[in-house]
Amino acid sequence: MPVRSLRNRLVDGPDSWGAKRRSRRWTWLTETFPELPDMTVLDLGGRVDTWERAPVRAAHVHVVNLEPTPDDLPPWAEADHGDACALPEDIRRRRYDLVFSNSVIEHVGGHERRLRFAETIHAMAPAHWVQTPYRYFPVEPHWVAPGLQYLPVKARSSIAHWWPLQHTKATDRAETLQAVLWTELLDKTQMRHYFPRSVIRSERVAGVPKSLIAVKKN
C-alpha cells in the first residue's frame, strides 16, 4: 500500500480512523454544550473550514490563527491573523460564550507561552473546550510514529525527517528540527496546571488515553 494512502486510511481521509475519532469528539462537544448553535465561539489556532464541515455549527465563529486569513468567509465566520498567546487589543476587548481549541497548545512554544495561552482562554469566555494529544499515548500523532515523542531531540529530528507517514515532508533537516522543537506533547499534570478549574477528560483507545480535553462550562 502506498504511504500516502496508508496515512489517509489512518488519520487524514474522511473515512479514516482519525476522522472517526474527530467525529466522536464533535459529538462530545455538542453533548457538553447543547446550546452551541446559539453560541459565539473564539477558535484559537483553528480554521474556518473545520466549522464548515462540523455536524453542528456555532452561531458565530471567530478564528484567530498565525496563518494567512481566508479571502472568502461565510457570513457566520470571521478570521484574524494573530498570536493566541498575545491577542491584539481589539480582540481582547471582546467576549465570547466559548473558547475552542483543538491540538494547538502543544505547539505554542514552551511553558511560559502555554501559560499565556491558557490565560487568554480563561479571559475571553466563561466556558472552554481545549483538546491536545496525550504525551504518553504510544504513537506520536503528528508523525504517526510509535514512541517518537520519548526520544532525544536529535533522534526525533533524524527519524522525523525521513519518516514516511508524516503529513508534509520538510524541505531540509533544519525545517524538520523546527517542527520537532515546536511540538511538545502534554500530560495530565500539565493540563491540570493550566486549567485548574476545568474537568480534564480523557479520550481513550483500547483503554489508553489518546488525548486530553480541558472542559469548563458556564
For 25, list phi and psi in degrees, rounded to 5.
-65, -35
Asked if residue 125 lies in contact with residue 42, where contact means CB atoms within 8 angstroms, the answer is: yes
pTM of the predicted model as reported, rounded to 2 decimal places: 0.91
**When comparing pLDDT for 189 and 206, which is higher?**
189
Share of the chain residues as helix, strand and coil, in percent rounded to the nearest 5: 40, 25, 35
pLDDT tens for 153-196 read: 999 999 999 998 887 788 999 999 999 999 999 999 999 999 99
Q: Which long-range contacts (CB under 8 A, 24 or more apart) does 116-119 make?
A: 116/85, 116/86, 117/44, 117/84, 117/85, 117/194, 118/194, 118/195
pLDDT tens for 14-47 read: 665 556 667 788 999 999 999 999 999 999 999 9
**Across all residues in the chain, what is the average pLDDT?**
92
Which residues, other chains included, contact 196 with Cβ-Cβ below 8 Å and sequence gap of 6+?
none
What does the alpha-carbon distance between residue 195 and residue 127 come to, in Å, rounded to a whole number? 11
pLDDT tens for 95-113 read: 999 999 999 999 999 999 9
Q: Where are the CATH 3.40.50.150 domain residues in the chain?
A: 13-138+184-216
The dihedral built from the CA positions of residue 152, 154, 156 and 158, taken in this order, carries a sign that is negative
CATH number for the domain formed by residue range(s) 13-138+184-216: 3.40.50.150
